[in-house]
Structure 1
Amino acid sequence: MSIKIPKRVTTALINSLGAGVVPRVGLEHIAVGREKEVTALLQDLDNIGEGGGAFRFIVGRYGAGKSFILQLIRNYAMEQGFVVADADLSPERRLVGASGHGVATYRELMQNLSTKIRPDGSALTPILEGWINGIQNQVAQATGMRPNDEGFDDAVEGEILAAIKETEGLVHGFAFATVITTYWRGYRADDNTKKTAALRWLKADFANKIEAKSALGVRDIIEDDSWYDYIKILAKFVADIGYKGLIILLDEAVHLYKISHTISRQNNYDKLLAIFNDTMQGKAEHLGIYIGGTPNFLEDSKRGLFNDLAWKRRTTKSRFTKGFQDTSSPVFQLEALTESEILLLFQRLADVHAVHYSTEKTLTNDELKMFMQEVINRLGASALLTPGEIVRDFVSVLNVLQQNQDLTISKLLHSSGFSLTTNSKSNNVDNSEFAEFTL
């Protein structure tokens, strides 16, 4: 094949798509039909890297591509030198909640903190130690001293304190700076107790303020009402130590829409509005926030964001741009893929599959059209427009053909045992409330 993709990437693509989940790697090899959105998102990254903020809703029906776009942002951001954290909202992870639902989301984000050299999460310790090692190298080059020389650690500490001083002026910034200093001093003295305590605090693992005061000498802990303040501090900190900024990705915002208690739901929408205003008004530096949601979550006048006039004013499409997509808007309404784009998607999947199995045999354009027509005949043309389950079916077809070399796609599609995946969610009158596999 003409394309070259590492085996680990093709493995991840085929395994993920065959199981009906969005891959974490290799998305650029199968992305189709989202050129305008990608261009706008890359411009966001440029702006964030220069110190700005960004906030976007990625909105679409079941299977429209929300999760795919969020993962694409994640990969582009890491490649460009950002720190990235992602989490799926759920009944247990919200923005605020009486049982610590907000801080549960923060903990998930910290667990999934990733960088280019640590793309699978748990990057907090590598970020801190990489920064410290970098400062040690700078001091060594500037002074000619070696790590064991007298005065070397003092010089390093001076640079560290200077680097974190910028965060002290932010809300809760003094506590953050104190904890980072404690981590450095634990690193300097090879004191794992201090380092572990600092990491626990940064991950919001302290149960109460008394415990934090005893272990670290700080009176604050990261809680439901303050976790976003610490996200802003972290964005500022990582930018100051050499990264371009922090990108936060929150998927499955439909779970906020599903909150049955009206006041609890509104509290979450109010928290989201505060975050939106903060980033859009330039109060958050080097921070990008992307939220994946359904049309109901945004537009339902009874339970969605549009129930709040403040939200409706900020996110309603301009009356003068009907029929056009404004990619500078805070809302990306994902448009349906065309049949030609779906055909291109099938071709790319077939190519990836052939590369993975080191075979020259792949499906012809006519055979791809045959599969597409079979989908239309059995499920209707609308099924192609949200291809989540169709992609899963297509990968299964590729697998069966690879495992049965004498079998043709025509024989497979017209065999009595072949049936396309159907999903009860797609048969609901309004299926946009459900979590989805999206591509």
Structure 2
Amino acid sequence: MSVVRAIALERKFVTLHADLSPDRRLHATGGQAKNLYSELMKNMSTRNKPDGNALTSVVEKFITQVQKEAESNDYSVEKVIHKRLTAISEMVGGYDFAKVIEIYWKASEEDNEHLKACAIKWLRAEYSTKTDARNDLGVRTIISDAFFYDALKIMSLFVRQAGYSGLLVNLDEMVNLYKLSNTQARKSNYEQILRILNDCLQGNAEYIGFLLGGTPEFLLDPYKGLYSYEALQTRLAENNFAKQADVIDYSSPALHLACLSPEELYILLKNLRHIYASGDSTKYLVPDDSLTAFLIHCNQTIGEAYFKTPRNTIKAFLDMLTVIEQHPEISWQQLLESLKIEEEKNSDMEIEIENDDNLTDFRL
């Protein structure tokens, strides 16, 4: 996903990225979707600001372009802003979005840093109540759980108006949706994915793309994964012709990444050893024989899982290098004899989910 994101930045896309967690989901009523949106805005990146926090620079670029257009056509800046954001104003929640952008421009003209900060705070979905937003900015709405996806679509049109190619949204650790113990909450999140998928496939979402990363169980599990939702299963099903021909259909909405082979894991360990030695082969802490012996030991301990889910294998190898570096008198053979590696397992943690029906506790 990092590679795709880097390519997108080179092609003048704005990228957003975040990991899902129990506190960050696509659909919720307790602030989790709003938290995810805030995290995405915090991690907004451009080619000039690849490390995040690029929201302010994107807004500034839009204002700069508007000012240039106003000067060249002898229009007022306010008129050009209205013209450029007309399409956004007609979308759900778009009117207040456009108003906040206009407020940011006026604050820039007046050197009002507090008002500019309030505008950015609204755009980042950091207002918790409508009252605070109305007092600071005079707007009636805030970006809330229910507004999550619509706000992303608005942002995609806005970055386009700012001169970028579009918006790429990267969401990793989607397995956290699979882990939800509440069936209705899980279904609601899958319905949000279905809505996003339908918009992308049918051309209803302009200048926006989504890259979702999850485990095979998250996709294929017929009881709790995406395949448990029939509408998603039919849309994400593998291309049978590509499967029979043993090739990959790169236009498919779901791509299955192959696991590392034992040979690839061996190369990975060699590279890790090289990095650990700061690129100096004379400072290698262990010889090549130790890598082979280490992998054989892992295979005997946890079987094929040592290269199919290699996180624990890699961690154990780095831990071994750390001990040898700090205690040179200990040989790698001694450490290997006492090494214990556990197979990486999916967590079945229970996550408490609030009831999605806000009227459940209503009493007359």
Match of 1:388 in 2: 311
Q: Give the number of equivalent residue pairs.
A: 346
Match of 2:274 in 1: 351
Match of 1:190 in 2: 111
Q: Shift of the alpha carbon at 1:416?
A: 6.8
Match of 1:83 in 2: 14
Tell me whether 1:303 sits opposite 2:303 in the alignment.
Answer: no
For the residues of structure 1 that align with 2:260 and 2:13, how far apart are their CA atoms?
29
For the residues of structure 2 that align with 1:304 and 1:294, how far apart are their CA atoms?
10
Asked if structure 1 preserves the Cα contact closer than 8 Å seen for 2:18 and 2:172, the reply is yes
Secondary structure of 1:320's aligned partner: helix
Q: Shift of the alpha carbon at 1:134?
A: 5.9
Tell me whether 1:340 sits opposite 2:260 in the alignment.
Answer: no
Tell me whether 1:230 sits opposite 2:170 in the alignment.
Answer: no
Match of 1:287 in 2: 208
Give the counterpart letter for 2:302 in structure 1.
Answer: L
User: Which of 10, 16, 31 is 1:100 aligned to?
Assistant: 31
Gaps of 5+ in 2: 350-364
Matches within 5 A, 1:22-421: 70-133=1-64, 160-322=81-243, 323-355=246-278, 358=280, 360-362=282-284, 365-403=288-326, 411-415=331-335, 418-421=338-341
Question: RCO greater where, 1 or 2, for CA within 8 Å and sep 6 or more?
Answer: 1
Superposition TM-score, scaled by structure 1 size: 0.69
Q: Deviation above 6 Å: which 4+ runs of structure 1?
A: 137-140
Secondary structure of 1:259's aligned partner: coil
For the residues of structure 2 that align with 1:420 and 1:74, how far apart are their CA atoms?
36
Gap change, CA 1:317 and 1:418, over 3 Å in 2? same
Secondary structure of 1:293's aligned partner: coil
Q: Shift of the alpha carbon at 1:95?
A: 1.6
Asked if structure 2 preserves the Cα contact closer than 8 Å seen for 1:294 and 1:433, the reply is no
Secondary structure of 1:332's aligned partner: coil
Residue deviations 1:132-163 (CA, integer Å, cap 9, x gap):
456667888x69xxxxxxx9xx7655555554
For the residues of structure 2 that align with 1:133 and 1:112, how far apart are their CA atoms?
22
What is the aligned-residue RMSD (CA, Å)?
A: 3.0
For the residues of structure 2 that align with 1:315 and 1:306, how far apart are their CA atoms?
8
Q: Shift of the alpha carbon at 1:104?
A: 1.9
Match of 1:16 in 2: none
Gap change, CA 1:205 and 1:381, over 3 Å in 2? closer
Residue deviations 1:331-364 (CA, integer Å, cap 9, x gap):
12222211222222223223323335x5544466
Q: Shift of the alpha carbon at 1:229?
A: 0.9
Q: Shift of the alpha carbon at 1:178?
A: 1.3
For the residues of structure 2 that align with 1:348 and 1:85, how far apart are their CA atoms?
30
For the residues of structure 1 that align with 2:305 and 2:231, how far apart are their CA atoms?
34
For the residues of structure 1 that align with 2:105 and 2:317, how far apart are their CA atoms?
52
Asked if structure 2 preserves the Cα contact closer than 8 Å seen for 1:371 and 1:413, the reply is no
Gap change, CA 1:157 and 1:341, over 3 Å in 2? same
For the residues of structure 2 that align with 1:396 and 1:138, how far apart are their CA atoms?
58
Residue deviations 1:370-391 (CA, integer Å, cap 9, x gap):
3322322333243122211222
Gap change, CA 1:163 and 1:406, over 3 Å in 2? farther
Residue deviations 1:233-291 (CA, integer Å, cap 9, x gap):
11121122122222212222222222222222211111111111111211222212122
For the residues of structure 1 that align with 2:332 and 2:289, how far apart are their CA atoms?
15
Secondary structure of 1:84's aligned partner: strand
Residue deviations 1:95-115 (CA, integer Å, cap 9, x gap):
222212222211121122223
Gaps of 5+ in 1: 1-69, 144-150, 435-439
Gap change, CA 1:374 and 1:296, over 3 Å in 2? closer
Secondary structure of 1:226's aligned partner: helix
Asked if structure 1 preserves the Cα contact closer than 8 Å seen for 2:84 and 2:161, the reply is yes
Q: Shift of the alpha carbon at 1:402?
A: 4.6
